[in-house]
Structure 1
Amino acid sequence: MSRIATLAAAFTAAVLLGSLSASAQAGFDLSPEQTGRIRVGRNAAAIAAIPAGFAFAAPGRLTVAINPSGPPLGTFATDARTIVGADPDIGHAVAEALGLDLVLVATAWADWPLGLTSGKYDAVISNVGVTEQRKEKFDFSSYRLGLHGFFVRADSGIGAIREPKDAAGLKIAVTAGTNQERILLEWSRQNVAAGLKPIEFQTFDDEAARLVALISGRADVIVQPHAQLVFIAARDRNIKRVGTLSAGWPARSDVAITTRKGSGLAAPLTLAINGLIADGSYARILARWQLAEEALPASEVNPPGLPKF
């Protein structure tokens, strides 16, 4: 086993052992009780927009699929059963606005499209990004920005990364084949064309290995989905954010509640979300999970999605 792999394995073990207490110290409530969850009232306009005779997967309930892959978006609580996080909170709020009880179903990421199409679920709330290809089969109600984060060591002298020139010559750890790598390759190309240094890419498939590379000084910056790094930074207190990157750079990229194409549920869900935005509940939900940077000004039905590449 290589030295970096050994360090990564040790790092992962330490994280697992200390995750529960560290989560509480970082300000994230991963208890099953969720006493701080934001409660909302019914939204009459959103309820009225539900198509007459709409057949919910379970009468009187909004059945939502979620992949509990990790905090702060969605994870299992300390009882190893209850699903908690920012996405579940959005689900609870939307269901309450529609006058429905929420049923969360833990689902593997690869399984949600078939389950949704077959009617097993009414919706998916699981950090699903809007793409033009997905819009051919599903409808969307946007509820969050799709962001990647630039994070550095807490003692790093790097102040901010906002545009390609800010990343020139830096050693950046990413996952090969990801959208963030594709964008940063274009940034590097632009830098070289402008006479600046290229970005030096360090690719890792494992998050622990990327973090070890950053903390050990092998990498200057780590780039991956913003929410994941927000949680890690609050938990470990040894990395900090110096910028964000739209998943659709140079355009905006939206994350959305996903529903069956033509089911008619996207409009009432969008009305419900916009009601939450208007009364401040939405902002409080995102702030509860330290994701205020991912707030949208308004929800849209089927907003522009990432293009086909």
Structure 2
Amino acid sequence: MNTTSTPPARRIRRLTPLIGTALVGTSLLALAGCADPDSASAGQGQGQAGSPAASSSAEAFNLSPEQDRFSSNVSAEAKALVPQEVNADGKLTVAVSPFAAPLALYATDNKTPVGNEVDIAYALAESLGLEAQIVPVAWADWPLGVESGKYEAVLSNVTVTEERKQKFDFASYRNDLLGFYAKSDSAIAEIKKAKDVAGLRVIVGSGTNQEKILLDWDAENKKNGLEAVEFQYYDDDSASTLAIQSGRADVYFGPNATGAYKAKADGKTKLVGLVDGGWPKKANIAVTTKKGNGLAEAAEAGLDHLIGNGVYAKILDRWGLETEAIPDSELNPPGLGS
């Protein structure tokens, strides 16, 4: 996470919450700390996400405890790579943080973790010939849990960084993307580069990677004589949602997963642009394991098996994350901060 001071030249609106009902209980900023364990508990662990509002124009999500998950057959290659100490009890203990839809959240019974990360954890375990044992944890607690052996793997939107690679091994399973989302009937069609945000009113999280990117783009625009961005900061999801729907803001810029979930759940917003989470560098979300124990190699093979048999694509599509799919898993890919 990059904390950036506020330059005096840019236009800023710091707005307090408005009266309104959130379309989805998940905070718009819920995923903003995925690259920083010290800030993640403040961003990713803000509470349980509620059920999305139904809409005739959009698909509904199954948030019941009874999940009809996509299952996988065993990969002989991946199974052969599983370390003996993991194979011993026939289970793969996976830590997830059920506080950010659609990645992981509690089902309607308020105790069963569901979501994209949970589905991948179950399928990955099956590909390794193991039974998934899902353990809900606070996001900030996973590093110590993996190092101590309490958790064998973590699927919790963990971004690969060079600093983390000193302590953990990784097998990538999703692109870390940021998304621009506008009202579904907005005239804004595409945001790909700096000039596309000139003059727009953009909702962004303070102190996040996305704010840093927007600051860089805004500086480039002003250097080129283009209109400045109006930065808008809100205290909660209800206010942000109402700002977009009422026309007080033009776009929301933040973690694509959250935006995609809301767009699919209620049909009131649309994706108008994607940016790498580590812009200008690519950022990877990965299964996280204890360094040097060999489980990451097995996870990489297992994920490639899921990609090959189609289960991976079905899971991402189920949770509206098909735009974040990767063609194959990579062992310890280049991390941010290099």
Q: Give me the whole-angstrom Cα distance separating, in 2, the residues matched to 1:20 and 1:146.
A: 23
- CA drift of 1:4 comes to 4.7
Would the alpha carbon gap of residues 21 and 185 (structure 1) be closer, same or farther in structure 2, given more than 3 Å must change? closer
**Secondary structure, aligned partner of 1:228:** helix
* Aligned-partner residue type, residue 59 of structure 2: A
Residue 11 (structure 1) aligns with: 21
Deviations 1:141-191 (A, max 9, x none): 000010111001122111110111111111111010001001111111111
Within the candidate set 85, 91, 96, 1:54 is matched to 85
Q: Does 121-130 or 76-85 show the bigger shift?
A: 76-85
- CA drift of 1:217 comes to 1.9
* Aligned-partner residue type, residue 258 of structure 2: Q
Q: Give me the whole-angstrom Cα distance separating, in 1, the residues matched to 2:250 and 2:229.
A: 11
**Secondary structure, aligned partner of 1:110:** helix
Would the alpha carbon gap of residues 146 and 95 (structure 1) be closer, same or farther in structure 2, given more than 3 Å must change? same
Residue 258 (structure 1) aligns with: 288
Would the alpha carbon gap of residues 295 and 139 (structure 1) be closer, same or farther in structure 2, given more than 3 Å must change? same
Q: Normalising by structure 2, what TM-score?
A: 0.84
- CA drift of 1:235 comes to 2.4
Gaps of 5+ in 2: 1-13, 26-48
**Secondary structure, aligned partner of 2:327:** coil
User: Contact (CA 8 Å) 2:203, 2:240: kept in 1 or not?
Assistant: yes
Residue 247 (structure 1) aligns with: 277
Once the two structures are superposed, the pairs formed by residues 1-309 of structure 1 within 5 Å of their partners are 4-7=16-19, 10-12=20-22, 19=51, 22=54, 26-35=59-68, 37-51=69-83, 53-55=84-86, 59-307=89-337
Report sequence identity in percent: 48
Gaps of 5+ in 1: none
Q: Give me the whole-angstrom Cα distance separating, in 2, the residues matched to 1:183 and 1:204.
A: 18
Would the alpha carbon gap of residues 76 and 18 (structure 1) be closer, same or farther in structure 2, given more than 3 Å must change? closer
- CA drift of 1:232 comes to 1.2
Q: Give me the whole-angstrom Cα distance separating, in 2, the residues matched to 1:43 and 1:72.
A: 27
Deviations 1:230-276 (A, max 9, x none): 11122232211111111011221110000111121110000000111
Would the alpha carbon gap of residues 125 and 172 (structure 1) be closer, same or farther in structure 2, given more than 3 Å must change? same
User: Contact (CA 8 Å) 2:184, 2:269: kept in 1 or not?
Assistant: yes
Q: Give me the whole-angstrom Cα distance separating, in 2, the residues matched to 1:242 and 1:82.
A: 33
- CA drift of 1:199 comes to 1.7
Deviations 1:170-221 (A, max 9, x none): 1111010001001111111111222222222112242322222222222111
- Runs of 4+ that moved beyond 4 A: 14-18
Would the alpha carbon gap of residues 115 and 220 (structure 1) be closer, same or farther in structure 2, given more than 3 Å must change? same
> How many pairs are equivalent?
301
Give the structure with the larger helix fraction: 1
